[in-house]
Chains A and B, each alone.
Chain A
Amino acid sequence: MKILVCISHVPDTTSKINFTDGDTKFDTNGVQFVINPNDEFGLTRAMWFKEKQGATVHVANVGGPETEPTLRKALAIGADEAIRVNTAATDGYSVAKQLANVVKDGGYDLVIGGRESIDYNGGMVPGMISKLTGANFVNTCINLEIEGENVTAIREIDGGKETLKTTLPLVVGGQKGLVEESDLRIPNMRGIMQARSKPLHVKEAVEASAETQSVTFEKPAPKGAVKLVDSVDELVNLLHNEAKVI
């Protein structure tokens, strides 16, 4: 089985979010970039397939050279090869088109992405890749088993979960549950050394226009100070009469 894990390069979860150039650009100053947490679960599940079922694992990212350390980290965790599509990731649809092209060229059986990336929260790239390549698709996937061509997947639904049956080729939008958090891998010294000599291919982008464009950013209005209350009587009163939520 040939697996492609799509890796989004995102600000780490504790990052302060600021904008520059008249609120038109994300301020990367002092921001540490990491593998998107949802993709990390997918990458670890892919490593499981590699070790238990003999799969090959490639990782891909659409972005400029600044994203290469994130791809190297994925190689250090155990991916065999990395591909960087050399263009700015402007919107979800255009990223999906680039990745669909990688999928077609590479003949992957399974593509794993994250349910969403934690920067733009688009939640669209895996679904769009599936549609563009004609593969089956399971979103918010929390369990994935593959036997030959046959797939059993569990996905999270509002208020529960659903077990699905499908076949390869498949695209998955994954999240926590694909593997447990305690199973996530931290690159060790040996992995880091090996990653240096693993192939990182730079692929030129295909023509793919963006359908959406972020024009300006805003931050939520600053919040007023908390009202501290001494008694539950007062709290119930405020929730009823002032906030009007009960």
Chain B
Amino acid sequence: MSILVYTESEEGKFKKIAFEAVSYAKGIADMMGTSVTAVSVNGGDSAQLGAYGASKVLEVSNDKLKEFNAEAYADMIAQAAKKEEAKVVVLTSSANCKFMAPLVAVNLEAGYVPNVTELPTGTAPFKVKHSVFTNKAFSNTEITTDVKVIGLAKNAFGVKENDTNVNTESFSPSLSDDDFSVNVLSVDKATDKVTIADAEIVVSGGRGLKGPENWGMLEELAATLGAATACSKPVSDMGWRPHSEHVGQTGKPVASNLYIAIGISGAIQHLAGINSSKVKVVINNDPEAPFFKAADYGIVGDAFEVVPQLTEKLKEFKAQNA
């Protein structure tokens, strides 16, 4: 028996969410008196996973798996889970994990719960807390199947060091042509920008910025903070910003440490997407804007004055704290 965790990497380096997922898997393993086995596909140095609690790493090196392929990856993870007799499979909330999780669950005839925010409250029965109603509530859900699949919510658990000796083993799943019936033709990824999914800080603008020509100041603030840029729905609907930046119930969820909302009113559908961000700052010229009720810090003021000042101040702060 073990807890199996899939660790994502990019260009031979583990992502931060991989370490978070291993930390979480270790938490469950401790509760259930077992150990953590990680699956790493063309990943980084396996010892790194040991630092967070993995005692075994199944290293998969297979040219066919160089690019993510949901069906093939799901098959590989299900085979690893069976080989390790895993009772729990831990995945994350990345786009790729959300793509393959339902396939893994059916493969293993396992109950799957996404957006899990905490360690299980109990393991017999196995109960987890996860966000529902687009972060407006939580459900405590029991998984009744023998094997369980968990999708860990981003930034919900954090990374926890737990120095463990790692054994590595190479693992070659048996994959058939059926696993490759959906093929990637091309990938279009902005490599020089921080993405909303990976960002620790997100700087977001709403209709209050009046037009796309005013986004320069917001981008400068984001660049100063190493942040991703985002926007409210009307902003992307009007084509001021790409749809991929639209945050909210019908857009992307944001689970960053800091969310700075500029000229965004704070409509319920927008708030639903940012509820799981830790610290929220609002800059809005209307003291009655609903966003102030959801924020931790606020400045009532004109964005066109406040934002450039804030950027300057942060540049100074960075220079002093570099």
Contacts and interface: CB of A to CB of B under 8 A. Distances in A.
Interface of A: 11, 13-14, 17, 19, 37-38, 91-93, 96, 118-128, 130-132, 136-140, 142, 152, 155-167, 175-177, 181-182, 210-220, 223-224, 226-230, 232-233, 235-236, 238-240, 243, 245-246
Interface string B274-302: 01001101100000000011111111100
B124 interface: no
B249 A13 contact: yes
Contact of B297 (A157, A166, A243): A243
Given A212-B142, A220-B138, A240-B317, A159 B195 contact: yes
A136 B181 contact: yes
A124 B95 contact: no
B244 A136 contact: no
Contact of A131 (B95, B103, B184, B196): B103
B298 A164 contact: no
Nearest to B267: A14
Shortest Cβ-Cβ A-B pairs, 5 listed: A127-B102, A211-B111, A160-B189, A159-B195, A131-B106
B70 interface: yes
A233 B309 CA distance: 9
Nearest to A151: B182
A211 B110 contact: yes
A156 B237 CA distance: 17
Given A160-B189, A233-B313, 18 more contacts: A11-B133, A14-B268, A17-B133, A92-B102, A96-B106, A119-B132, A121-B114, A127-B99, A127-B106, A137-B182, A211-B109, A218-B138, A223-B296, A228-B298, A236-B314, A239-B279, A240-B317, A246-B201
A155 B99 CA distance: 10
B310 A235 contact: yes
5 contacts: A131-B107, A212-B143, A217-B138, A236-B310, A245-B257
A123 B181 contact: no
A215 B215 CA distance: 45
Given A162-B186, A212-B142, A239 B281 contact: yes
Contacts of A213: 141-142, 144
A124 B78 CA distance: 16
Nearest to A223: B294
Given A13-B269, A131-B106, A160 B298 contact: no
Interface in B105-127: 105-107, 109-115, 127
Contacts of B237: 181-182
Contacts of B133: 11, 17, 118-121
Given A14-B268, A93-B105, A166-B181, A158 B143 contact: no
Contacts of B251: 176
Contact of B141 (A96, A140, A214): A214
A144 B317 CA distance: 47
B306 A232 contact: yes
A96 B294 CA distance: 36
A215 B122 CA distance: 13
A102 B71 CA distance: 22
A154 to B, nearest CB: 9
A134 to B, nearest CB: 8
B162 interface: no
Nearest to A216: B140
